[in-house]
Amino acid sequence: MCSDCIRQGATIVQPQPDLTPGAESQTVLIVEDDPLVQEIVQFQLRWVGYQVSAARTGEDALAQMRDAPADLMLLDLGLPGMSGLDVLRALRASSNVPVIIATGDADEQSRLEGFRAGADDYVVKPFSVEELTHRVRAVLRHVHPESVADEIAGPAGIVIRPRAQKSL
């Protein structure tokens, strides 16, 4: 039984995914050498509708970005062989794809170095997969504004039109 499931009588029901509008056409490349972290993040991002690919090394990540570019890269810094920062620098030489660093390096100097190398966001492990999902959405929303829903139903009958930047 999963901790996110809700017991209703004798039936266990998983909550419905909070689907991201336009996510089905967006691909996230997860570059992570820890198989458990990679699997959990893959599951969560697929659950909300993203296409997901994965790499365990920096060299594999750069090859995947060359052959089938993703819309966003989620990058661990502590990779075997080529470091995550070296991957980011090599990527920035030919691409502006958004990159979120997800790593255990929590000190300010590491975060600043990541941003200087070209990261768009930075999240420290351990992190909430729900928070990570919202960070992915936010970064992609800025890069691909067409993925934002035309209208969102708000409370008390309020209709929110994000593209128009107003509510009715």
Q: What is the pLDDT of residues 42-78, one digit of tens each?
A: 999 998 889 999 999 999 999 999 999 999 999 999 9
Domain of residue 157, CATH code? 3.40.50.2300
- How confident is the model at residue 24, as a pLDDT? 75
Collapse the DSSP code of 10 into the 3-class scheme (helix H, G, I; strand E, B; otherwise coil) and give the result: coil
Query: The pTM is what?
Result: 0.76
Instruction: Calculate the alpha carbon distances from 23 to 29, 33, 84 in Å.
Output: 13, 24, 25
1 belongs to a structural domain: no
The residues of the chain scoring below 50 in pLDDT are 1-13, 148, 166-167
Which of the 8 DSSP states describes residue 60? H
Q: How many CA atoms lie within 13 A of 160 on its CB side?
A: 8
**In whole angstroms, what separates CA 43 from the centre of its chain?**
12
- How confident is the model at residue 106, as a pLDDT? 85
161 belongs to a structural domain: yes
Structurally, the chain folds into a number of domains equal to 1
61 belongs to a structural domain: yes
146 belongs to a structural domain: yes
Range of the domain at 20: 6-167
